Homo-oligomer: A and B are copies of this chain.
């Protein structure tokens, strides 16, 4: 992968950002993350017209796959003598960093947008970590983080730029591939939700050399990866309202972009109604409560299946942290 050279220069920790790095990360977090199941549903697959292998990271500690990268990153900082961590997040990375930091009795400050899911803010506070809410854009959160780094001497765990985080997120896809193989299957493609880009970047590492297509799925309201691929680099997009609170970052991270831009096969942009419908389908047919970000990936998988190019599709069901009022509202307003 030619971008590997750039990444090394950017990151300073080349060994992590590779297929082997992801597998090393897996060994390091084994036993401290939940070995989540891969769920299939006959009813859902009948709707899809393809086999859907759902990596149920909604059942992960902290309710999302972000626990993986956060554990690695906090562990590294502890080893370096950190006195406290700070991170910006739409919520799930914040929950994961807060839980990992609590495990090491390390102070943690999390910077979330003002429109973060109430459930996510509450879960972070339950760990004893501090939550600051600042604006709705990535730039506004980063400004607060930069200030806290200098004024309070905190170490940053960026959700998109930290190599440990990206390699850690890749372990979800690595697990998925192993679980599908163990069940006698063989994936044609994986579909990942795209917010800041760590999931899709991690998947590019985890699938390297295996002939598996990697697709991103993002809300059409915030098409940050689509725009970046078109512009030849990360750009800030106009973010319109989306129920997928986890996918609201209006700009792809530089590191995820470097890792993914010439590896991803395609990116689906998903309308709000399709996100809601995918969430309902997974709830009713696969009996899993997932958050809209995860539903965005499922909706992408349904599009891929409908196009007929893939029969075995892995989906990163990234998380399950959703306000119950939103679930009720989606169930009350389902199309007849």
Contacts and interface: CB of A to CB of B under 8 A. Distances in A.
A247 to B, nearest CB: 18
A39 interface: yes
A59 B287 contact: yes
Counted per complex, copies of this chain come to 2
A327 B320 contact: no
Contact of A331 (B36, B59, B320, B324): B324
A41 B60 CA distance: 9
Interface stretch (A139-147, A169-177, A255-263, A278-286): A278-286
Interface string A315-335: 000001000110110011010
A42 interface: yes
A320 B334 CA distance: 19
B59 A286 contact: yes
B42 A61 contact: yes
A197 B254 CA distance: 59
A296 interface: no
Interface in A270-328: 280, 283-284, 286-290, 320, 324-325, 327-328
A63 interface: yes
A89 interface: no
B287 A58 contact: yes
A37 interface: yes
Nearest to A325: B331
Contact of A289 (B34, B59, B288, B324): B288
- Most B CB within 10 A of own CB, among A36, A286, A289: A289
B290 A287 contact: yes
B324 A280 contact: yes
Interface in A181-223: none
Contacts of A41: 59
A119 B58 CA distance: 24
A331 B322 CA distance: 12
18 contacts: A34-B40, A36-B37, A37-B39, A37-B59, A39-B59, A58-B287, A119-B284, A280-B324, A283-B289, A283-B324, A287-B290, A288-B288, A289-B289, A324-B334, A325-B331, A328-B328, A328-B332, A332-B332
Given A287-B289, A288-B288, 14 more contacts: A37-B39, A39-B59, A58-B287, A59-B287, A63-B287, A283-B324, A284-B289, A284-B324, A287-B290, A288-B289, A327-B327, A327-B331, A328-B328, A332-B332
Interface of A: 34, 36-37, 39-42, 58-59, 61, 63, 119, 280, 283-284, 286-290, 320, 324-325, 327-328, 331-332, 334
